Amino acid sequence: MQTQDLQTQDLINRVCAYSGRQCPTEDTCPTDLPGLMILRSRRPTSLQTILYKPLLCLILQGRKETYIGTRQINVAAGESIIVSHHLPVTSRVTEASEQTPYVALVLELDMAIVRSLYGEVDESELEEAQARALKVGATDSALMNAMGRLFDLVDRPLEAKVMVPLLLREIHFRLLLARHGGTLRQLLRQGSHADRIAKVIAHIKQDYTTPIAVAELASLAGLSPSSFHEHFKALTATTPLQYQKDLRLLEARRLLMEGNHSVSGAAFEVGYESPTQFSREYSRKFGASPREDLAKHSRG
């Protein structure tokens, strides 16, 4: 076995041992390091709809399948996902077993660190033919090594105080240089389409309960309505109105699962005026009505 394979297997073993100690029954295991968590599954999973934050998802073992709008993306061990914008997605683990579980390290990206690296990236590197908010590519050895060194600090709080800020800066820099880090690089350029759409997404997220007018969003982005619609859909694989609807439904589902809202209460809380319309769109999004979904969740 090659040295790189041995290093990766050693990292997988350490990640599994840590999550086995800290979160023996959970698929998601947070760590004490800022923004770093472990995903582990011993079996394939059903489709789940979630909101990705800007993040790096490094697949160490197994496979997963992600859908953004109608776009399907398959990710295997040794590959990584770079997400540059908040993005509603549907995903599932497709390859996992008791003997060989699905294992991934997820790191939330700090956009302040990304922007602080502007002066370190050559201007020519900022070009990107087609900006997309989620991209997949092979994980090079330098990034894998940096993530391994970051994970090494989970049980070393004294060293972590000094080393984590340095390693986070290194990891963000390596992501900017990665072949699939193009959209992340575009965010460094003020006024790029990726930057303009990021501002619109922040605006939608801030007030997702209020009806939106695409013309107003286009004006905020400084684009014509047709150009704005084109670039928004190219980046997110969805329309601005559908994006807002997905945010509403995801938040409503969270409220329902917390157990403090009725179906109609959750609907009104996220901006729906009609509980009937809410239930219809909820069923279409999650494959079950709000009451059926809540009952399934209650059964565990």
254 phi-psi bin (left φ>0, alpha ψ -120 to 50, beta other): alpha
Per-residue pLDDT band for 21 (boundaries 50, 70, 90) equals very high
pLDDT higher than threshold 80 for residue 274: yes
Tell me the mean pLDDT in the region 251-266.
92
Residue 1 CA to residue 64 CA, distance in Å, equals 25
pLDDT at residue 126, rounded to an integer = 55
Per-residue pLDDT band for 122 (boundaries 50, 70, 90) equals low
pLDDT at residue 36, rounded to an integer = 97
Q: What share of the chain is helix, strand, coil (3-state, %, to 5)?
A: 50, 20, 30
Per-residue pLDDT band for 190 (boundaries 50, 70, 90) equals confident
49 near 250, Cβ under 8 Å? yes
Per-residue pLDDT band for 248 (boundaries 50, 70, 90) equals very high
Residue that wins the pLDDT comparison between 295 and 279? 279
pLDDT higher than threshold 60 for residue 2: no
Which of the residue ranges 77-86, 171-180, 183-192, 246-255 would you say has the lowest mean pLDDT? 183-192
pLDDT at residue 1, rounded to an integer = 46
Residue whose token pair is 């690296």: 117
91 near 48, Cβ under 8 Å? yes
pLDDT at residue 67, rounded to an integer = 92
194 near 183, Cβ under 8 Å? yes
- pLDDT tens-place string over residues 127-173: 655 678 999 999 999 999 999 999 999 999 999 999 999 999 999 99
82 near 56, Cβ under 8 Å? yes
pLDDT at residue 128, rounded to an integer = 58
Give the number of other CB atoms < 10 A from CB of residue 131: 22
203 near 217, Cβ under 8 Å? yes
**What six digits make up the tokens of 53?**
């934050």
pLDDT at residue 191, rounded to an integer = 83
What single string gives the DSSP state of each residue in 94-144? EE--SSS-EEEEEEE--HHHHHHTGGGS-GGGG--SS--SEEEEEPPHHHH
- pLDDT tens-place string over residues 51-83: 999 999 999 999 999 999 888 999 999 999 999
pLDDT higher than threshold 90 for residue 259: no
**What six digits make up the tokens of 275?**
């509980």
Domains and CATH numbers, the chain: 3-186 (2.60.120.280), 190-300 (1.10.10.60)
Q: What is the mean pLDDT of the chain?
A: 91
- Entry pTM: 0.90
- Tell me phi and psi for residue 174, to 5 degrees: -65, -30
pLDDT higher than threshold 90 for residue 298: no
pLDDT higher than threshold 90 for residue 43: yes
pLDDT higher than threshold 90 for residue 269: yes
Q: Which amino acid is residue 239, in one-letter code?
A: T
pLDDT at residue 123, rounded to an integer = 62
